Amino acid sequence: MDDDESATPDPTHIDVVASRQAASDEDNLHASLAALAELSTAKMELADVLTRVAEFAVQAVPGADGAGLTLLEAGYHDTIVASTPFVTQVDDIQYGLGDGPCITAAKERRTLRSGRLESDPQWPEFGPRVGRLGVHSALSIPLLTADGVLGAMNIYAYEHDAFDEHAAHVGELFAIPAAIAVQNAHVLAQTKRLAGQLQDALTNRATIDHAIGILMSRIGCGPDEAFDRLRHMSQSENLKLHVVAMRVVGEAVRRARARHTSP
Amino acid sequence: MDIPAALVADLATLTEALGSGDVDLTARLNAVNASISLAVASWVGTAVSTTVGGQTVTFSMIKGVDGVRASLLIPLGRHVADSPGSWIAFYASTPGAFVDLAADFAYALRADLSDLVLDADLAPQREHSEHTLTNFSLINRAIGILVEDGHTVTGARAELTRRASLAGGGLLGAAQSLVRTIDPEP
């Protein structure tokens, strides 16, 4: 064989390899999207659902070694999850500094890509620190809905320049249904949380109203005065209102039982 | 959409009863509404119902009740302990607004689509007007009066039910009559 010919890449071979890689990437994307569609939040906490989404993102995006996902919720702590421990380390640095690709992607609502984190001028403190962890590439994609940003998805790799335009495009394709899955999981989680808290509040309120009725009957007062007395007990004894109410009810029941059993 | 003042007052009462410094039920409801309004552009209202001690309380906020053209009711009994009848309902002004969301929720809840009730509650306020926090409190205060009279809580509920049956006026009427014996001007 001619040495010159062996040194020159065969364009046909390159096309075949590229084509096979593209097909493989597409299979991975489809598999991840299918898994995302079947994701059940029935018995999962929200963080579990988000973690699964992050894991699917690793499968979908070529070159990814790990992924993290941040869900922003106004007035509450952000929910931050990771598919693998090294991503947790990286995101701890990011959120500790308050600066990094995920934060920037969510804030600016655009995809960010870096192949040389350790020297990337966008994040002069974050980049070198994660570089020392051996993480050199990042792909950060905002999770968007029609009316706002839900959060962001962070995909990391140990290799330099791990994410090309194709990877970014695949990530953005994945982010669309991911945002819907995250949004729906979030709505369900909020709904279940609200229903549970209303249930707890009403249970406590029932006890408080029992105590109000007891005091009304005992003292011969109206409900406002009875409630004021409960509040006063709560404040002076530094006990929660429903705890004081439980005590009032418990004492009344015990007195009633004693009356029934005494000769 | 702002939560109506009366509902804010009820939620403040319940937030106080909850006794948790971290939870503000008004803020929680606002958060649910904000999220659902992102998912459904024509969303116009939310209702939540839960049952404690056999008493149901329903909170609702709907902008333009007569303009409701779609609804989605999600039973929550499997997800909220001791409240098999709990549900949340969302309302919208566009017909069919919840079809896609219902399918997604059914997947997420591992429920059949038929478990979620689509478009069956298009006159919400007319159905829930008795299940108020005020009535809930009145009945429980009557139970408290009966506890002071010598009943256990369970026995007091049974006694109130018995009195309601005798009077033929329902549990609320029996509670009102009993409370008036202590506080003639409630």
**How far apart, in whole angstroms, are the C-alpha atoms of residue B154 and residue B54?**
11
Cβ-based neighbours of A36, under 8 Å, separated by 6 or more: A53, A56, A174, A177, A178, A181
Answer whether A68's CB lies under 8 Å from A100's CB.
Answer: no
Say yes or no for a CB contact (<8 Å) between A253 and B148.
Answer: no
pLDDT-based confidence at A2, cuts 50/70/90?
Answer: very low
Digit-coded pLDDT (tens) for A162-179 = 999 999 999 999 898 888
Amino acid letter, residue A79: T
Q: Is the pLDDT of residue A72 over 80?
A: no
Interface check for B175 against chain A (CB to CB < 8 A): the answer is no
pLDDT-based confidence at A128, cuts 50/70/90?
Answer: very high
Using a CB-CB cut-off of 8 Å, the residues of chain A touching B79 are 192, 195-196
Give whichever of A7-21, A198-212, B58-72 has the largest mean pLDDT.
A198-212
The better pLDDT of the pair A257, A263 is held by A257
Using a CB-CB cut-off of 8 Å, the residues of chain B touching A216 are 141, 144-145, 179, 182-183
**How many CA atoms lie less than 13 Å away from B77 in the CB half-sphere?**
10
Q: Which of A193, A214, A260 has its CB closest to that of B28? A: A193
Q: Which of B18, B39, B143 has its CB closest to that of A187? A: B39
**How far apart, in whole angstroms, are the C-alpha atoms of residue A92 and residue A86?**
10
Q: Is the pLDDT of residue A34 over 90?
A: no
Q: What is the pTM of this model?
A: 0.75
Q: Please identify which residue in the block is written with the tokens 């098999």.
A: B84
Q: What average pLDDT does range B94-119 have in this prediction?
A: 79
Q: What average pLDDT does range B163-170 have in this prediction?
A: 90
Which pLDDT does position A5 carry in this prediction? 45
Q: What average pLDDT does range B135-146 have in this prediction?
A: 96
Task: Centre a 10 Å sphere on the Cβ of residue A222 and count the other Cβ atoms it contains.
Answer: 17
> Residue B8 has which token pair?
């804010």
Which pLDDT does position B113 carry in this prediction? 66
B151 φψ region: left (φ > 0), alpha (ψ -120 to 50), beta (else): beta
Q: Shortest CA distance to B72 belongs to which of B98, B104, B48?
A: B98
Measure B67 CA to nearest chain A CA, in Å: 23
Answer whether B132's CB lies under 8 Å from B59's CB.
Answer: no
The better pLDDT of the pair A203, A145 is held by A203
Q: Is B54 exposed, middle or buried (0-12, 13-18, 19+ CB in 10 A)?
A: exposed
Which pLDDT does position A42 carry in this prediction? 44
Interface check for B134 against chain A (CB to CB < 8 A): the answer is no
Q: Which of A199, A206, A214 has its CB closest to that of B83? A: A199
Count of CB pairs separated by less than 8 Å, A with B:
197
Say yes or no for a CB contact (<8 Å) between A202 and B50.
Answer: yes
Q: Which of A146, A202, A216 has its CB closest to that of B38? A: A146
Q: What average pLDDT does range A38-43 have in this prediction?
A: 52
CA dihedral A245, A249, A250, A253 (to 10 degrees): 180
Using a CB-CB cut-off of 8 Å, the residues of chain A touching B104 are 180, 184
CB within 8 Å of chain A, chain B residues 35-94: 35-39, 41, 48, 50, 52-53, 55, 57, 59, 74, 76, 79-83, 86, 88
Find the helix or strand (DSSP H, E) in which A137 lies. Answer: strand A137-144
Q: Is the pLDDT of residue B2 over 60?
A: yes
Q: What average pLDDT does range A210-228 have in this prediction?
A: 95
Interface check for B105 against chain A (CB to CB < 8 A): the answer is yes
Q: Which of B23, B52, B108 has its CB closest to that of A41? A: B108
Q: What average pLDDT does range B135-152 have in this prediction?
A: 95
Which pLDDT does position B115 carry in this prediction? 77
Using a CB-CB cut-off of 8 Å, the residues of chain B touching A195 are 48, 50, 76, 79-80, 83, 86, 88
Residue B85 has φ and ψ, to the nearest 5°, of: -90, 5
Say yes or no for a CB contact (<8 Å) between B153 and A210.
Answer: yes
Percent of chain A with pLDDT over 90: 48
Q: Which of A74, A76, A195 has its CB closest to that of B86? A: A195
CB within 8 Å of chain A, chain B residues 2-31: 13-19, 23, 25, 27-29, 31
Which pLDDT does position A43 carry in this prediction? 44
**How far apart, in whole angstroms, are the C-alpha atoms of residue B178 and residue A212?**
14
Find the helix or strand (DSSP H, E) in which A107 lies. Answer: helix A101-108
Best residue in A39, A216, A246 to probe B by mutation, most B CBs within 10 Å?
A216
Using a CB-CB cut-off of 8 Å, the residues of chain B touching A212 are 137, 141, 144
Say yes or no for a CB contact (<8 Å) between A206 and B79.
Answer: no
Q: Is the pLDDT of residue A111 over 80?
A: yes
The ipTM (two decimal places) reads 0.91
